[in-house]
Amino acid sequence: MGWLSCVANPGKRSSTNRSMSESKAQRGQIQIKLIRSGIGFPVKQKKVIRGLGFRRLNQVITRPDTPEIRGMVFKIRHLVEIVAQ
């Protein structure tokens, strides 16, 4: 499919984009808790902690359940735990 089908059928493009945005809204939220400090770990991992929005230990944050957030959590999986999905 890809972009070529959208070029061939310009009217179909809007329906494809609409279905993609609806699926993102249905994914829900994920709650993440910071259980270990970033001290002693690489700077990249500390930046991921800050990028997710953590400010202190035992803080629970809610983020959208997207592949980007899941990837960030995977990078620091030894420092966080998933509380609820």
Q: What's the confidence (pLDDT) of residue 8?
A: 55
For position 12, what pLDDT does the model report? 52
Q: What does 12-52 look like in DSSP terms, one character per residue?
A: HHHHHHHHHHHHHHHS-EEEEEE-S--TTS-HHHHHHHHHH
Centre a 10 Å sphere on the Cβ of residue 45 and count the other Cβ atoms it contains.
14
Tell me the C-alpha distance between 63 and 33, whole Å: 11
Walk along the chain (85 residues) in steps of 10 and give the mean pLDDT of each run: 52 50 64 97 97 97 96 97 87
pTM: 0.67
CA angle 83, 27, 22 (to 5 degrees): 160
Domains, the chain, with CATH or none: 2-84 (3.30.1390.20)
